[in-house]
A = this chain, B = another copy of it.
């Protein structure tokens, strides 16, 4: 499968590296407005720099695209890629504008190209083991889920400015997806509170950097998610699912298992610094799923509807945070 990487920044290099070592994939070309970034990746993996998105999509040898550009550009790129008949791996969120997202969905349905949303966390081995355990009924029906989803740093001001309430659209959107996946249910309402805790220098845009959410699911289960953009001890990624028969905990991960015993106590490593370290295996695994699924014409694990619903929850969370009231979600 020959890939075109669209977007060479942020997570782009991670996908490029995974494509490079995958036995059934090859990175054919890279597109980015920042030509230097595109060239850096292309050179490393023996790919070309496509002169434009149009040129890349016109290349019949390209089987699939990986979309890693800023969220506001996603819908247009998805539409163009779908019309060009490419299989699409799109980073979350599908887009920020629900109307554009719905138009996308129309095009995807019409063209029938394979479409996958990169909610990588579903492919983490520990989260997956939790999903399997819930599926086996180990705790009975999940009655409460508590998620800690904290980043070690805030994004750069331009990125923050481009996506207000990014704490819901960019960060918790993963957790909203995880909750749908783990419970098998949709939320019926959401209540969210936010705060700006970082100082002016670190968060000059003053967009929320701290948030707590409570969701009620269609079956009555209660969900809590909390998030912050300054976990100094690393990328804090925990999920606990509680039910009639017990609790499952997906605990944090660390770079090494070294324990240091001294007069001042017992010390372990801080957590993995951020998503690239923490979810390295998940990124490789979701790409492999995409490649194998597209090749086998099998349904992909995370489709358009999943991406659209997670986005709708993020939207409702923002509305709740702005209004101070819980917001209902359509079924």
Residues of A within 8 A of B (CB): 21, 125-126, 128-130, 133, 138, 143-144, 146, 148, 150, 191, 193, 195, 197, 210-212, 214, 216, 220-224, 226, 228, 230-233, 236, 242, 244-271, 324-326
Do the beta carbons of A133 and B258 come within 8 Å of each other? yes
Do the beta carbons of A250 and B244 come within 8 Å of each other? no
- Within 8 Å CB of A125, what residues of B? 255-256
Question: Which residue of chain B has the shortest Cβ distance to A324 in the bound complex?
Answer: B326
- Among A226, A254, A266, max chain B CB count under 10 A is at A266
Do the beta carbons of B259 and A249 come within 8 Å of each other? yes
Do the beta carbons of A231 and B242 come within 8 Å of each other? yes
Bound-state CA distance A224–B251 (Å) is: 19
Do the beta carbons of B268 and A266 come within 8 Å of each other? yes
- Within 8 Å CB of A226, what residues of B? 144, 146, 222, 224
Question: Given A264-B270, A265-B269, A269-B265, A126–B222 Cβ distance below 8 Å?
Answer: no
Do the beta carbons of B246 and A222 come within 8 Å of each other? no
Do the beta carbons of B249 and A261 come within 8 Å of each other? yes
Do the beta carbons of A251 and B257 come within 8 Å of each other? yes
Do the beta carbons of A191 and B231 come within 8 Å of each other? no
Bound-state CA distance A223–B128 (Å) is: 29
Bound-state CA distance A129–B258 (Å) is: 7
- Within 8 Å CB of A221, what residues of B? 195
Do the beta carbons of A222 and B233 come within 8 Å of each other? no
